[in-house]
Structure formats: C-alpha cells, structure tokens
Amino acid sequence: EAGVTQFPSHSVIEKGQTVTLRCDPISGHDNLYWYRRVMGKEIKFLLHFVKESKQDESGMPNNRFLAERTGGTYSTLKVQPAELEDSGVYFCASSPAGVGIQYFGAGTRLSVL
C-alpha cells in the first residue's frame, strides 16, 4: 500500500511567485492534515480536511495560503504570493476516520529567495 506522497520534494522560488504543493493521502483516508516546520522550530498545524470539507483551518497563517481537496482525494496548498518567511518544510498527513494515528509524508521543502 502506498504511503502519503508529496510533490515536489523541494521547491525553490523567488519572493512574489506562486507555488503549489500537492499531497496524495493514503487511499481511503478521510482525514488530511497540513503542517509546517519553519527553520528548526516546532511543527505547526495548518489545517485539517475531512473528505473535501475544511474541518479546522485555524493554523493557516494568512490569506496568501489556499488549501483545497478535490473530491476528497488529493490536496493542494497554494502560496500566492510567496514571502521569505514562508520558507520551511510542509508536511502532509492522513488518517482513517476514528483512528488516532496520522501517517506523514516526507514533506516538501520550500525555499523562498
């Protein structure tokens, strides 16, 4: 069974550009989460989808970040326009309904220059 996959593994962009990160959860997992780790700090929650609906987006830093989950399958996280402070590693995780374990992807390392 395939795990959580994230694309790209690394993205380098200039300030002001747009970047889209993608996450493919484990098949059948209703819950999908996005987290971010900035420069050696703690991993912070961004948002949580249940199927295609946003359950909790309290961690989204500002309106430059837009997350979608099409048809309850894969999810994208768009940053537009990117700022220097957006640099970090973005993790995606998924879990089945009613199960307390989240399965994490390898992350996307975003570098904004």
Question: What mask of x and - would describe binding to another protein in positions 23 to 62, judged by CB under 8 A?
Answer: --------x-x-x----xxxxxx--x-x----xx-xx---
Question: What mask of x and - would describe binding to another protein in positions 60 to 89, judged by CB under 8 A?
Answer: ------------------------------
Largest CA distance in the chain: 41
Q: Which residue is it, tokens 């399965």? A: 103
Rule CB under 8 A: say whether 12 interacts with another protein: no
29: phi then psi, degrees, rounded to nearest 5: -80, 120
State the minimum distance, in angstroms, from the CB of residue 46 to another protein. 9
d(CA 94, CA 113): 30
What percent of the chain is helix, strand and coil (3-state, nearest 5)? 5, 50, 45
Applying CB under 8 A, the residues found at the interface with another protein are: 3-4, 31, 33, 35, 40-45, 48, 50, 55-56, 58-59, 91, 93, 95-107
